[in-house]
Amino acid sequence: MSSTNDQTHHSLIAGAPVAGTDGTTRAVDPARNAASGPEFSLLDNGQVAEATRAAADAFAGFRTVTPEARAAFLETAAERIEQSGAEIIANAMRETGLPEARLQGELARTANQLRLFAKVARAGDHHGVRIEPALPDRKPLPRPDLRQRTLPLGPVAVFGASNFPLAFSVAGGDTASALAAGCPVVVKAHNAHPATSLLVGQALSAAVADHGLPAGVFSLVYGRGNAIGQALVSDPRIKAVGFTGSRRGGTALMATAAARPEPIPVFAEMSSVNPVFVLPSAIAGGRDALADGFVTSLNGSAGQLCTAPGLLFVPEGSDGDDLVSRVTEKLSAAAGTTMLTPDICSARVDGEKTLASVDGVGELGRGGDGDGSNAPAPAVYTTDVETFAKSPELSDEVFGAVCLVVRYASAGQLPSVAAELEGQLTATVWIGAGSDTDTGSGADHQSARDLLEALELRAGRVLFNGWPTGVDVGDAMVHGGPYPATSDGRSTSVGAAAIERFLRPVVYQNVPEALLPAPVRGHNPWNLTRRVDGATVVAGEEENA
Amino acid sequence: MSSTNDQTHHSLIAGAPVAGTDGTTRAVDPARNAASGPEFSLLDNGQVAEATRAAADAFAGFRTVTPEARAAFLETAAERIEQSGAEIIANAMRETGLPEARLQGELARTANQLRLFAKVARAGDHHGVRIEPALPDRKPLPRPDLRQRTLPLGPVAVFGASNFPLAFSVAGGDTASALAAGCPVVVKAHNAHPATSLLVGQALSAAVADHGLPAGVFSLVYGRGNAIGQALVSDPRIKAVGFTGSRRGGTALMATAAARPEPIPVFAEMSSVNPVFVLPSAIAGGRDALADGFVTSLNGSAGQLCTAPGLLFVPEGSDGDDLVSRVTEKLSAAAGTTMLTPDICSARVDGEKTLASVDGVGELGRGGDGDGSNAPAPAVYTTDVETFAKSPELSDEVFGAVCLVVRYASAGQLPSVAAELEGQLTATVWIGAGSDTDTGSGADHQSARDLLEALELRAGRVLFNGWPTGVDVGDAMVHGGPYPATSDGRSTSVGAAAIERFLRPVVYQNVPEALLPAPVRGHNPWNLTRRVDGATVVAGEEENA
C-alpha cells in the first residue's frame, strides 16, 4: 500500500484491486477524533458477487491440494505479514488507538495462529478419517467398505473485529482456520481500520500467488457495514460465516443466514461479561496482588477485550471490604486509554450510565480520564447479590473498562447465581491455597466444586486463580460458550479445534481404491491418524486398512 | 401396555402416565383405512413443560454418571425392547402396514444401535479430551494448564419418524446418541404409531428405573402434531432437536429454533432423491441384475425409505434402451404395498401426478396396485438430461416408489448435472468391471472421477455399484448431507459420530486437580484416548499428563 494519502485504495478481489462504486470511507484516528489516512472505495452490494464468484471458482482447486501445500501457504502468509510488520503496526496504531506493544504482541499472535493452522493442516487430524473395511461374511448382511472423511464447506465470509485489528481480523483465527480447512475466504474489512486491513490482505494475497493457488482463495472487500454484510451472508456461494463483534451485529447475521433458501452456519462470537467469583479463602491474604491483577485485567486495552471481567463477586465482611478498598485505591491511580472508535466510546459511556441508574447500584470508584479523545476513566460499581439476582440488565455487557462488584453473604449463594447467567466465554474462580490440593480438603473446596459444576454449563472456559483476559492459542483452547457468548456453543474460534467449524463428513461406500481420495486410501499416503473399526490408529503405527 | 382397546393410554413423563387434556387420538390401520387400537390422550401445549422440567431436573444427575453406568443403561434398554419384541412388532404391523420381516430387522437394528452407543459411551472418545500441561517457563508468556473436554448440551427433543417406527423413533438413533452423550430426551410420539411408541417408551423408562437414573432422563409425549412440536422446540429447557421427516416439518422446526431468545441447533433429516448414475461401462453386461436390483431398491418398504432411488441416470443407446426395458418389465411384475398413512399415500399420488405433468416427462412403466388400501403401484417415468437440467421441480422428492429415469448422451454431461443438485443423503455411481482397479484404467474411469468430485460436495454418502437403500450402522457411517437432505450437513444421524451433535467443548484452565472432572484428570481414571500437546495418546498407552 502506498503510504501517501493521495491515492484512493480499493477492495482486493482475487489478488487485484477493484474500485467500489458506492462512495468512499476514511479511518478516524480515535485519539484525535479526526479523519485519518487515505480514502477507500466502497463496493456496492452487487460488486460483492465478484469476490464470492472468485471464491467459488477457486474452491475446486484449493480443496484438493496436499496438506503440505496448504501448510506451506499458511506459513508464507505468516512470513509476509511479519515482513510488513512495521508498516502494519504503524497504521494500526493510527487507526485503532491501541498502543505499539499491544499491537506487536497481536501481530506475533496472528503469525503464530497461521503457523498453528499450518501444523494442523499438515498433521491432518481434521480429516476425521473413520474406516470400516468390508466384511463380506458378516451375518445377517455383509458389511460394505466404508470410509469417512471430512470435506471443507466451501467459501467462507469472515467479518473482521474492531478490537483485534490483526488477530481476529483479515488474517485472524477465522480466516486461518477456514483456509486450513480448504475453504476460500472473503473478508469484510472493518471500516475502523481499513489501511491495516489492506496491508494484511496484500500479504495474504501475495502468499496465494507465491504458491500458485487459485487467486480467488482470498479476497478483501470494503463496503458500508451492515448492507454489505447482509449481501455477503445472503450470497448463495457463501457456505459459512465467521464473525466477532456485537450481539446486535451477530444476531442480525444469524437471522439472515437462517432465512436463506439454503441456511448456513454462522460462527459469531458476541457478548460476554466474564464473571469472576472470589471465594472467601482467596482473600484471607494476598488481597493487594488480587486487586492489582483485577485492575490490570479490567483496564487493559481500555477494557475492549471479549474476555474482560465485567462482574466480580466478593464476599461481604472485613476481608471483602479490604479487597474492595484496595481495588478502589488502585483504580483511582489508573487512567483511561483511547478507545477504538468514537461510537464504541459513546456506547461504553451510555452503558455505564445505564448501569449506574439501576436501583441498588452505587459507584465504588473510578480512575482518571486518559489523554486525548475517547479515553473515558475506568469505573467500578457495586451492588449486593440480591439486587443482582433480580436485575437481569446487570448482566448486560458494557464493552469497556466498567465492572460491577457484587457482594455476597455466603459462598452457598453462588452456584444458583451462576446457573442463571447467560452463556459466557469465560468464568473464573479464585480459591485460597490449601483448597487446591489433591486431598480435596480446604475451606472452600465444596463451594468451588458446586460452582464449577454450574459454571461449566454456562461458559466455554473455566479458569481458577487467574484473570480471563489473555487467551492461549494452542491445541486445547476453547474460545466459545453458550449463546449469547457465541451463536452456537458447539465450537471454538481460537485454537486448533476452530478448523472443525468449516468441515462436514462424507462417507465413501465400496468406492474403488483408484478413485478414493488420499485421506481414506488403504495405504494412507498422507500418514494420518485414523480410526479403523472404531479404534484409533496413530499415524505411522498402522497396518494397511 | 394393555393389549385391550378399552383403556385410554397416556403420555409417559418421567416414568409415570400423564393424562392429556387436549382430546385423544387413535392409530389408523392403513391397510384397512380404519381407526385401530386404543385411544391415546393428547397433552395440551402447557403440559409439555412437565416433561421438559423433568428432563432439566434430571440433567445434573445424568450427565455426571460414569461411562460404564451410561453404557449399562443403554444395554438394558436394548434388552427390554427385545423382550417386548413380539408385542412391539404386532402393534407396528397394525399401525404402519410394514411387513413383519422388515419390522423384525428394524427391531434388531434398534437394539443394535443402542448397543453401539453403549460401546461409544464406554470407549469415551466423544469426550474429545485435549490436554496442554502448564509450561511455566514458556516465553514470552507461561502456558497455563489447559484441559478440554466435551459436555452434553442438555435436554433434547426428538421427533419420531413415520417411516421407521423403531429405528428412527422413540428409541431410535437420535434418542440413543443423545442419551449416550448425557442428554435427557423428550420424545414426541408420532401419531401414526402410538401403541408402538408406548411399548418402546415403556421399555426405555423401565431401563431408566432399573439403573436408578433420574426418572426425567426419558419422557414420551403425545399431542397434536405441529402445535406440540412447536411448544417443545420453543421450550427454554430444550437445548437441541432431532427430527426425521418432511422438508416442511423440518424447516418449520428450524425457524422456531432460530427465533428463540436462545437459538438452538436442529438436526433435521428431511429430503433426498438419491440420484443413481449408471455409467456406460456398467451396462455393457449384467443389465438384468441391475434392473432387478433397482426395482427391489425402489419398491422396498413401498419406497418409503429416506435413501430410496428417485433419479436414475441411464445412457442413451441400445444398451441403455435394453436396461430401461428390463426395468419396465420387472416393474410390471411388481406390486405396490401398503403405505404408512393415508396422508403419505395421497401426497405420493399427488407427487406422481405433478411429475407426470411436466413437459418432456413420459411414463415408462408401472407395476400393479397392492392389496388393500393405500398401496399404489410403483411407477417409473423418463425424460432427457436437457429437460432435467432446466426443470428444477424434477428434483423434488416424491416420497414413495416413484422414480425418474434421465437419459443422457455422454458421461461428460453428468458432473455439471450433479453439481446443480440440491444436497442429498446419498449419491450412487455404477461403473463396469475393469474400471475399478488400482491402475485407474478403464473406459469410465475419468468420468467416474469427475462425477465423484461433484457428488462428494452434494451428498453425505457416495457409493459405487450398489443401491442406496440399507444404511450400515457402525463407526464410519454418514447419514446426512447438505441442505435440504439435512438442516446442516456437518453431522450424521446414523452411526457412532451421531453423538457429536449433542456435545460442546469446554476448557479448564489451571483448575486444581482435585476439582477436575474425570475425563481430564492427570491419571486418566476413565482410560480414555486423549490428545496431549496435539498428539493422540491411545487409551492404555499414555504417561500421566
Q: B374 vs chain A: nearest CA distance in angstroms?
A: 30
Q: B253 vs chain A: nearest CA distance in angstroms?
A: 12
Q: Which of B183, B306, B345, B403 is catalytic?
A: B306
Q: Which residues of chain A does B489 touch, with a Cβ-Cβ cutoff of 8 Å?
A: 153, 504
Q: Which residues of chain B does A452 touch, with a Cβ-Cβ cutoff of 8 Å?
A: 511, 515
**Span A14-134+149-270+494-499 CATH architecture:** 3-Layer(aba) Sandwich (3.40)
Q: Which residues of chain A does B491 touch, with a Cβ-Cβ cutoff of 8 Å?
A: 504-505
At B309, phi and psi to the nearest 5? Answer: -75, 115
8 Å CB contact of B476 and A536:
no
Tens of pLDDT, residues A363-384:
999 999 999 899 999 999 999 9
Task: Reply yes or no on whether the pLDDT at A542 is more than 80.
Answer: no
B244: which strand partners? Answer: B269
Span A172-196, average pLDDT: 98
Nearest CA in chain A to B507: A461
Q: A26 vs chain B: nearest CA distance in angstroms?
A: 35
Superfamily name and number for A275-464: Aldehyde Dehydrogenase; Chain A, domain 2 (3.40.309.10)
Cell output for B543: 504417561
Q: A17 vs chain B: nearest CA distance in angstroms?
A: 30
Tens of pLDDT, residues A250-296:
999 999 999 999 999 999 999 899 999 999 999 998 999 999 999 99
Closest-CA residue to B294 (of B393, B404, B391, B383)? B404
Measured between alpha carbons, how far is A490 from A500 in angstroms, rounded to an integer? Answer: 10
- For residues B478-495, b (16+ Cβ closer than 10 Å) or e, as one string? bbbbbbbbbbbbbbbbbb
Query: What does the pLDDT read at residue B88?
Result: 98
Nearest to B534 among A475, A509, A533 (CB): A475
Exposure of A196 in the CB half-sphere (CA atoms within 13 A) = 35
ipTM of this model? 0.97
Tens of pLDDT, residues A451-462:
999 999 999 999
What is the DSSP annotation of A40-69?
EE-B-GGGHHHHHHHHHHHHHHHHTS-HHH
Measured between alpha carbons, how far is A97 from A467 in angstroms, rounded to an integer? Answer: 24
Span B105-119, average pLDDT: 98
Q: Which residues of chain B does A464 touch, with a Cβ-Cβ cutoff of 8 Å?
A: 509-512, 515
8 Å CB contact of A265 and B513:
no
Q: In A168-318, at which residue ranges do the beta strands (DSSP E only) sit? A: 185-188, 218-221, 240-244, 266-269, 275-278, 311-315
8 Å CB contact of B151 and A456:
yes
Q: Which of A39, A75, A106, A269 is catalytic?
A: A269
Query: What does the pLDDT read at residue B436?
Result: 46
Closest-CA residue to B221 (of B77, B26, B45, B62)? B45
Q: Which residues of chain B does A254 touch, with a Cβ-Cβ cutoff of 8 Å?
A: 258, 263
Tens of pLDDT, residues A431-450:
997 654 455 567 899 999 99
More confident position, A543 or A107: A107
Q: Which residues of chain B does A154 touch, with a Cβ-Cβ cutoff of 8 Å?
A: 457
Nearest CA in chain B to A504: B490
**Span B13-270+494-499 CATH architecture:** 3-Layer(aba) Sandwich (3.40)
SS3 B406: strand
8 Å CB contact of B148 and A497:
yes
Task: Reply yes or no on whether the pLDDT at B286 is more than 70.
Answer: yes
User: pLDDT confidence of A543, banded at 50, 70, 90?
Assistant: low
Query: What does the pLDDT read at residue B477?
Result: 98
At A17, phi and psi to the nearest 5? Answer: -70, 140
**CB-CB neighbours of B90 under 10 Å:** 16
Tens of pLDDT, residues B165-219:
999 999 999 999 999 999 999 999 999 999 999 999 999 999 999 999 999 999 9
Nearest to B505 among A492, A505, A515 (CB): A492
8 Å CB contact of B534 and A119:
yes
Burial class (CB in 10 A: 0-12, 13-18, 19+), B387: middle
CB proximity list for A461: less than 8 A, separation 6 or greater = A425, A426, A427, A468, A477, A478, A479, A481, B506, B507, B508, B509
Sign of torsion over alpha carbons A318, A321, A326, A332 = negative
Query: What does the pLDDT read at residue B484?
Result: 97
High-pLDDT (> 90) share of chain A, %:
94
Measured between alpha carbons, how far is A324 from A329 in angstroms, rounded to an integer? Answer: 9
The verdict on whether B306 is a catalytic residue reads: yes
8 Å CB contact of B475 and A506:
no
Q: A294 vs chain B: nearest CA distance in angstroms?
A: 17
Nearest CA in chain B to A425: B506
8 Å CB contact of B60 and A453:
yes
Measured between alpha carbons, how far is A485 from A489 in angstroms, rounded to an integer? Answer: 8
Q: A472 vs chain B: nearest CA distance in angstroms?
A: 7
Checking DSSP bridges between strand B503-509 and strand B146-152, what pairing results, if any? antiparallel
Nearest to B514 among A439, A487, A505 (CB): A439
Nearest CA in chain B to A60: B453
Q: Which residues of chain B does A509 touch, with a Cβ-Cβ cutoff of 8 Å?
A: 461-464, 466, 472
Tens of pLDDT, residues A117-156:
999 999 999 999 999 999 999 998 999 999 999 999 999 9
Q: A224 vs chain B: nearest CA distance in angstroms?
A: 26
- For residues B328-364, b (16+ Cβ closer than 10 Å) or e, as one string? bebbeebebbbbbbeebbebbeebbeebeebeebeeb
Tens of pLDDT, residues A456-483:
999 999 999 999 999 999 999 999 999 9
Span A392-397, average pLDDT: 94
Query: What does the pLDDT read at residue B420?
Result: 96
Span B287-301, average pLDDT: 97
What is the DSSP annotation of B182-209?
T--EEEE--TTSHHHHHHHHHHHHHHHH
Per domain, the residue ranges of chain A are: 14-134+149-270+494-499, 275-464
Measured between alpha carbons, how far is B520 from B130 in angstroms, rounded to an integer? Answer: 8
8 Å CB contact of A505 and B448:
no
Q: A2 vs chain B: nearest CA distance in angstroms?
A: 33
Residue A274, phi-psi category: left (phi > 0), alpha (psi -120 to 50), beta (remainder): left
8 Å CB contact of B258 and A254:
yes
Task: Reply yes or no on whether the pLDDT at B433 is more than 90.
Answer: no
Q: Which of B106, B269, B352, B397 is catalytic?
A: B269
Span B106-121, average pLDDT: 98
Nearest to A511 among B105, B464, B533 (CB): B464
Nearest to B254 among A263, A460, A488 (CB): A263
Nearest to B478 among A64, A506, A512 (CB): A506
Q: Which residues of chain A does B431 touch, with a Cβ-Cβ cutoff of 8 Å?
A: 512
Which of B135, B451, B490 to substitute to test the interface with A, most A CBs within 10 Å?
B490
Span A159-172, average pLDDT: 96
Q: Which residues of chain B does A431 touch, with a Cβ-Cβ cutoff of 8 Å?
A: 512
Q: Which residues of chain A does B432 touch, with a Cβ-Cβ cutoff of 8 Å?
A: none
Average pLDDT value for chain B: 95
8 Å CB contact of B255 and A254:
no
Q: Which residues of chain B does A281 touch, with a Cβ-Cβ cutoff of 8 Å?
A: none
3-class SS letters over A85-133: HHHHHHHHHHHHCCCHHHHHHHHHHHHHHHHHHHHHHHHCHHHCCEEEC
Which of A62, A449, A515 to substitute to test the interface with B, most B CBs within 10 Å?
A515
A428: which strand partners? Answer: A276, A463
Closest-CA residue to B509 (of A303, A499, A455, A488)? A455
8 Å CB contact of A143 and B474:
yes
8 Å CB contact of B515 and A459:
no
Sheet holding B240-244, edge to edge: B16-18, B11-13, B218-221, B185-188, B156-159, B240-244, B266-269
